[in-house]
Amino acid sequence: MKSSIGFIGLGIMGKPMALNLIRAGQNVTAFDINKAAVEQVKEAGAKSAFSIQEAAENNEVIITMLPSAKHVKEVLFGTDGVAAFAKPGTIVIDMSSLSPVDSVDIANELRKKDIHMMDAPVSGGEPKAIDGTLSIMVGGGESEFAATKHIFDILGSETVLVGDSGSGATAKLANQIIVNLNIAAMSEALVLAAKADIDIEKMYQAIRGGLAGSTVLDAKVPMILDRNFKPGGRIDINLKDITNVMDTAHSIGVPLPLTSQLLEIFHALKADGKATDDHGGIVQYYEKLAHVEVGRK
């Protein structure tokens, strides 16, 4: 099945996702303020858009993959935004990580223009965006989900319609708690082992097959051992997500003591100039406290 797709946002995650859609034979019109990124996807077979209007009009599906709710709202509702040019019946899939409140508000505003919206944040970082094996959690209508399932199948290996608008965003907040606290716990363990002067790589091999083993462990330990903090999931983006987690939790009366500490760790890392590092760089917070660096023997 082939769709005409306007893809807006060609960053760390968006560009490989757009490339996968192109390779799968979808008709993609791409827009980003980064013209070099637009040129890259154009060379792969996309039609380049020089404005949001070009990305929005005459496409049946619009995908946004942007840093924050502010950016999504500007793209959708600005003077020259998607809502001004998309035809009735268009489906907007926002794959950014927003708060459930923002996702529901956006869906309600778009509905006034007879534009359907699904919140569909992803998990897996840049590696899984590149190989098309993202986990995708979707909030929205069943008919819109059925109409776009072939798109999700190109981008991810697991896509679940969680519920109505905002449900995908809520699931992503839960995901971010688990992932980032997992990295923090792993970091504490690695720093303990480094301070005890044991071989971290051998320790990793010893524990990865047991209950401590995880996708996070396998993804992040090799990066930390190589001192590779090139971002797949940036600290500042995860700080934004965990801020959304805490705001949402407080609004519905849910205390999250561990996550609140994690938020302060992210703020400390940002203040220390680590905002654009991968969130595996959480280890640097603990290294600084213990005066030790995790690395290979």
**Mean pLDDT over residues 74-95, rounded?**
96
Q: Looking at the domain assignment, is residue 297 inside a domain?
A: no
Asked if residue 182 and residue 75 are part of one domain, the reply reads no
Asked if residue 245 and residue 197 are part of one domain, the reply reads yes
Q: Who wins on pLDDT, 168 or 58?
A: 168
Q: Residue 248 carries which side chain, given as an amino acid letter?
A: T
**Residue 20 confidence class, pLDDT cut points 50, 70, 90:** very high
CATH number of the domain to which 267 belongs: 1.10.1040.10
- Among residues 111, 139, 164, which one ends one of the domains? 164
Q: 127-183 pLDDT, tens per residue?
A: 899 999 999 999 999 999 999 999 999 999 999 999 999 999 999 999 999 999 999
- Among residues 126, 145, 164, which one ends one of the domains? 164
Q: 186-224 pLDDT, tens per residue?
A: 999 999 999 999 999 999 999 999 999 999 999 999 999
Give the pLDDT score at 125.
Answer: 87
Tell me how far CA of residue 254 lies from CA of 239, 246, 259, in angstroms. Answer: 19, 9, 11
Asked if residue 10 and residue 100 are part of one domain, the reply reads yes
Give the pLDDT score at 292.
Answer: 97
Give the pLDDT score at 233.
Answer: 86
3-state secondary structure the chain: CCCEEEEECCCCCHHHHHHHHHHCCCEEEEECCCHHHHHHHHHHCCEECCCHHHHHCCCCEEEECCCCHHHHHHHHHCCCCHHHHCCCCCEEEECCCCCHHHHHHHHHHHHCCCCEEEECCEECHHHHHHHCCEEEEEECCHHHHHHHHHHHHHHEEEEEEEECCCHHHHHHHHHHHHHHHHHHHHHHHHHHHHHCCCCHHHHHHHHCCCCCCCHHHHHHHHHHHCCCCCCCCEHHHHHHHHHHHHHHHHHCCCCCHHHHHHHHHHHHHHHCCCCCCEHHHHHHHHHHHHCCCCCCC
pLDDT at 5 over 90: yes
CATH number of the domain to which 120 belongs: 3.40.50.720
Asked if residue 45 and residue 12 are part of one domain, the reply reads yes
2 is catalytic: no
**Mean pLDDT over residues 223-232, rounded?**
94
User: What distance in Å separates the CA atoms of residue 62 and residue 28, rounded to the nearest whole number?
Assistant: 10
Structural domain range at position 206: 171-290
Considering the candidates 15, 128, 172, 220, report the single residue annotated as catalytic: 172
| Residues pairing with 135 in the sheet | 123, 158
CB 53 within 8 A of CB 31: no
Radius of gyration of the chain (CA): 20
**Mean pLDDT over residues 13-17, rounded?**
96
pLDDT at 249 over 90: yes
Give the pLDDT score at 297.
Answer: 79
Contacts (Cβ under 8 Å, ≥6 apart) of 149? 159
User: What distance in Å separates the CA atoms of residue 222 and residue 170, rounded to the nearest whole number?
Assistant: 30
Nearest to 123 by CA among 215, 39, 257: 215
Q: Looking at the domain assignment, is residue 295 inside a domain?
A: no
pLDDT at 1 over 90: no
Asked if residue 140 and residue 64 are part of one domain, the reply reads yes
Structure tokens at 222: 């090799």
Q: Looking at the domain assignment, is residue 36 inside a domain?
A: yes
Asked if residue 250 and residue 185 are part of one domain, the reply reads yes
Nearest to 159 by CA among 127, 128, 115: 128
> 């970091």: which residue's tokens?
187
Asked if residue 226 and residue 80 are part of one domain, the reply reads no
Q: Looking at the domain assignment, is residue 296 inside a domain?
A: no
Q: 88-125 pLDDT, tens per residue?
A: 999 999 999 999 999 999 999 999 999 999 999 999 88
Q: Looking at the domain assignment, is residue 148 inside a domain?
A: yes
